[in-house]
Amino acid sequence: MDSKRDSGIAYLVLGIYSVLISWYFNHSIILAILCYLCWPVYLVFEILTGHLAHGMWKSIPLSYFK
């Protein structure tokens, strides 16, 4: 039962991470909601297009806390 809970938490955290990335690039609530619903596809797309290269994967979430 603990592994299901851990995977649920990871799913939620990665979904929120994809919303943060989407908002950083698009500033659209509709796209943020869509990215949360299909975050695995969106994160793979962002990785393949290079938007998360050169340390952007960690500077984007940090930009919300400055």
pLDDT tens for 1-13 read 556 666 788 889 9
Of 33, 36, 38, which Cα lies nearest the Cα of 13? Answer: 36
Whether the Cβ atoms of residue 3 and residue 19 lie closer than 8 Å to each other: no
pLDDT tens for 39-61 read 999 999 999 999 999 999 999 99
Global pTM? Answer: 0.82
DSSP at 17 = H
Q: How far apart are CA 14 and CA 21, in angstroms?
A: 10
User: Residue 13 has which token pair?
Assistant: 């955290």
Angle (CA) 52-55-60 rounded to 5° is 65
